């Protein structure tokens, strides 16, 4: 896919990895729909940076755990842009949830935001892409989908669902739309990680270092620009962590 003149929506693009992905796509010529939930100010900053790169940008604030809200947002975005060419499912909640402390609210928040939300975006944009004849969907999964961490079980379940979702959508939307995922490893440290916890995590990484948001962004750009014969794939960007 040649990105100049194409519209890409990046969920959770107000900050962190989402912002890096949005700007990387814009550097390659894509116009960007910057999605956020509560981080409107940060999203506007991302949009401003996109425009400085010579691309168009719009901001849409939506709670992606709300199915109907996502449907309305997709209608609005499609109408405003004339059609979305790329969907990057990045937005997610990542929070420690020890088994003895998990409540129904924790379960609902993590599964609704991290799995139902990405599926809803794909549900309402994917068939439109297919009907038009082209499109790319890339979802950010996690190494935890395969290596389930006991302190983050609902999160890992949601990301395992994203992997299954990717494979199902790849079949349902073929051959017009390619659907893939990135299994991200340790990219940004959680705020609650101690020095000892970081050291333990890196022992499982053959490359012995933390990754960067740019590593994920480059993988997204590869799948979007050069992944015409790749679909249903889960690309590890984890320093080799899932091998251990």
152 is catalytic: no
Q: What's the sign of the alpha-carbon dihedral 110, 116, 117, 119?
A: positive
Helix, strand or coil, per DSSP, at residue 205: coil
Of 94, 152, 155, 229, catalytic:
155
d(CA 233, CA 138): 10
- Answer whether 4's CB lies under 8 Å from 30's CB: yes
Structure tokens given for 190: 């959680």
**Residue 138 CB contacts under 8 Å (≥ 6 apart), including other chains:** 86, 87, 88, 89, 179, 180, 181, 182, 220, 223, 224
Degrees (nearest 5) of the Cα angle 172, 218, 48? 95
Q: Count the neighbouring beta carbons within 10 Å of the beta carbon of residue 173.
A: 19
Residues designated as active site: 155
């Amino acid at each position: 896919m040649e990105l100049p003149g194409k519209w890409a929506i990046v969920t959770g693009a107000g900050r962190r990895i989402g912002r890096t992905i949005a700007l990387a796509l814009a550097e390659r010529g894509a116009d960007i729909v910057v999605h956020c939930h509560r981080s409107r100010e940060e999203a506007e900053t991302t949009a401003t940076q996109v425009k400085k790169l010579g691309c168009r940008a719009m901001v849409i604030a939506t709670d992606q755990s709300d199915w109907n809200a996502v449907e309305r947002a997709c209608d609005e975005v499609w109408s405003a842009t004339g059609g979305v060419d790329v969907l990057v499912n990045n937005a997610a909640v990542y929070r420690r949830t020890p088994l003895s402390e998990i409540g129904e609210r924790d379960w609902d928040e993590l599964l609704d935001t991290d799995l139902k939300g990405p599926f809803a975006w794909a549900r309402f944009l994917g068939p439109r892409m297919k009907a038009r004849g082209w499109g790319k969907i890339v979802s950010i999964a996690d190494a935890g989908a395969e290596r389930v961490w006991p302190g983050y079980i609902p999160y890992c379940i949601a990301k395992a669902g994203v992997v299954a979702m990717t494979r199902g959508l790849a079949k349902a939307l073929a051959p017009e739309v390619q659907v893939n995922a990135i299994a991200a490893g340790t990219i940004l440290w959680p705020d609650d990680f101690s020095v000892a916890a970081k050291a333990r995590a890196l022992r499982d990484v053959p490359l012995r270092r933390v990754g960067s948001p740019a590593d994920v962004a480059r993988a997204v750009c590869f799948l979007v620009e050069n992944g015409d014969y790749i679909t249903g794939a889960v690309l590890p960007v984890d320093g080799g962590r899932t091998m251990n």
